[in-house]
Amino acid sequence: MNAPLCRISGQAINRAIDFGIQPLGNGFLLPEFFSSEYFYPMEMGFCETSMMFQLIEQPAPEQMFHEHYAFYSSTSRYMEWHFAEFANQVKQSGYLAKVDPFVVELGCNDGIMLKNFASAGMRHLGIEPSRNVAAVANGNGVRTLSEFFSEAVAEKIVREEGQADAFLAANVMCHIPDMLGVVKGIRALLKPTGVVMFEDPYLGDVIEKTSYDQIYDEHVFLFSAHSVQYMFQLHGMELIDVLPQKTHGGSMRYVLAHAGAYPVSQAVTQLFVKEQELGLHKQSTFETFRRSIEQSRVDLVNLLRELKSQGKRIAGYGATSKSTTVLNYCGIGPDLIEFISDTTPIKQGKFTPGMHIPVKPYEVFQASPPDYAVLFAWNHAEEIMAKEKAFVEAGGRWIVHIPKVQVLG
């Protein structure tokens, strides 16, 4: 069998962690589709040249992002606040032209961030391949094209609307296998003074917290400053700043520009040093990570089985894409978790991908609270725990699996 090749460097990838056969992270489905459900082998590899940690095989984008895509960004109040803040920071960054600046966002989802530019009357454009969410964005007054971004799409935008001052993306770039095509498109789209600001779950946090559930079909890459720098430098761009974020359990916002356009901040230099200490540039780190993941699986399954043997009722909270990896990798089904509560209408009444646990509206959780709830939306813990005080006061207990498996309280 030929060695798989890195999507960035073209060199051979070293196999690192095998999660077995997995379904689509957001492939919530009805029973009539169980027999035709899509599965693929989910395995992560590491390229020592590009330092990119990546899926060896990824389902075709059309399998994952389509008119039934189940994730809407505006499901969390914290995320609404976060994107309003992100937009404010862009407006105040000093990188935008004083007159008629143009901001483009890749994967604008339902317009959660761009609406902050639209409402200020700023020229903006969203690019969102999932037609259903793009329609919501347009409905929210956010001008959105439903397309997969590429160099050709970038050139079309430049022809019709001119170059952009800022190219934004949040939780999007790590989804795109043809990142080199995207980087070329960005280079064509950006003014000489333009900047890219994008954020994604950060590999350093994922390894430190054993948050292996950030690995699923949609996340073809988990970035570090090292890998981002490698990828953009191939096309004459460089990292000029990095800003750690709390979102998604630890993300990094990367700021990039045409090489030499701006000075490089100290934060970039410091992060490179920290990443060397964490070993994000070397294969052996992923061997240790794999062992931590295996231990986490043993701990979670043992805990749930033990509680079940005591006759406890266990539900899940948040039918996240992340939970698909945990449930399928650990083999946790409806025998251990009765149902998963989720506020997203398009997921309710369906079943989780692969393990087929029913997803029920939040009202079911409230009306019939379990003894234990596994917090699959652990990245929203603060917001959820604040609103679920009654669950705990009535004797309910939270189970978390990040950074280690434990019952809280």
Report in angstroms how near the CB of residue 384 gets to ligand DWN at its nearest. 5
Q: Which two tokens stand for residue 238?
A: 């460089």
Q: Which two tokens stand for residue 117?
A: 């530019």
What mask, x for binding ligand DWN by CB under 6 A, covers residues 122 to 161? ----------------------------------------
Task: Please pick, from the candidates 342, 350, 351, 372, the single residue that binds ligand DWN as defined by CB under 6 A.
Answer: 342
Q: Which is nearer to ligand DWN, 24 or 47 (CB)?
A: 24
Under rule CB under 6 A, residue 383 binds ligand DWN: yes
Q: Which is nearer to ligand DWN, 244 or 279 (CB)?
A: 244
Under rule CB under 6 A, residue 344 binds ligand DWN: yes
What mask, x for binding ligand DWN by CB under 6 A, covers residues 60 to 99? -----------x---xx-----------------------
Q: By the 8 A CB rule, do 126 and 112 touch?
A: no
What mask, x for binding ligand DWN by CB under 6 A, covers residues 26 to 55? ------------------------------
Q: Which is nearer to ligand DWN, 148 or 272 (CB)?
A: 148
Q: By the 8 A CB rule, do 312 and 372 touch?
A: yes
Query: Strand, coil or helix: what is 47?
Result: coil
Report in angstroms how near the CB of residue 14 gets to ligand DWN at its nearest. 25
Find the part of the chain contacting ligand DWN (CB under 6 A) among 155-163, 277-285, 297-305, 380-388: 380-388
Q: By the 8 A CB rule, do 400 and 382 touch?
A: no
- Alpha carbons 51 and 183: distance in angstroms, whole number: 17
Question: What count of residues does the chain have?
Answer: 409
Report in angstroms how near the CB of residue 176 gets to ligand DWN at its nearest. 11
Under rule CB under 6 A, residue 253 binds ligand DWN: no
Under rule CB under 6 A, residue 324 binds ligand DWN: no
DSSP code, position 174 = G
Report in angstroms how near the CB of residue 377 gets to ligand DWN at its nearest. 4
Report in angstroms how near the CB of residue 374 gets to ligand DWN at its nearest. 12
Task: Please pick, from the candidates 146, 233, 343, 406, the single residue that binds ligand DWN as defined by CB under 6 A.
Answer: 343
Q: Which two tokens stand for residue 87?
A: 């937009």
Q: Which is nearer to ligand DWN, 28 or 289 (CB)?
A: 28
DSSP code, position 357 = P
Spacing of C-alpha 22 from chain mean position: 17
User: What are the CA-CA distances from residue 365 to residues 187, 291, 342, 388 (Å)?
Assistant: 48, 34, 9, 11
Report in angstroms how near the CB of residue 342 gets to ligand DWN at its nearest. 4
Q: Shortest CA distance to 137 belongs to which of 202, 47, 74?
A: 74
Asked if the bond preceding 244 is cis, omega within 30° of 0, the reply is no
Instruction: Name, in order, each residue with C-beta under 8 angstroms of 298's C-beta and a sequence gap of 6 or more.
Output: none
Q: Which is nearer to ligand DWN, 120 or 408 (CB)?
A: 408
Query: Strand, coil or helix: what is 199?
Result: strand
DSSP code, position 396 = -
Instruction: Name, in order, each residue with C-beta under 8 angstroms of 46's C-beta and a sequence gap of 6 or more.
Output: 13, 14, 16, 52, 53, 54, 283, 286
Q: Which is nearer to ligand DWN, 190 or 340 (CB)?
A: 340
Angle of helix 225-233 relative to helix 266-278, nearest 10 degrees?
A: 120
Under rule CB under 6 A, residue 217 binds ligand DWN: no
Query: Strand, coil or helix: what is 384?
Result: helix
- Alpha carbons 101 and 87: distance in angstroms, whole number: 13
Find the part of the chain contacting ligand DWN (CB under 6 A) among 118-126, 234-242, 270-278, 338-346: 338-346
Task: Please pick, from the candidates 47, 52, 319, 373, the single residue that binds ligand DWN as defined by CB under 6 A.
Answer: 319
Q: How many helices (H) and strands (E) does the chain have?
A: 14, 17
Task: Please pick, from the candidates 58, 140, 321, 325, the single residue that binds ligand DWN as defined by CB under 6 A.
Answer: 321
Q: Which is nearer to ligand DWN, 9 or 76 (CB)?
A: 76
User: Contact positions toward ligand DWN, by CB under 6 A?
Assistant: 71, 75-76, 171, 218, 318-322, 342-344, 377, 379-380, 383-384
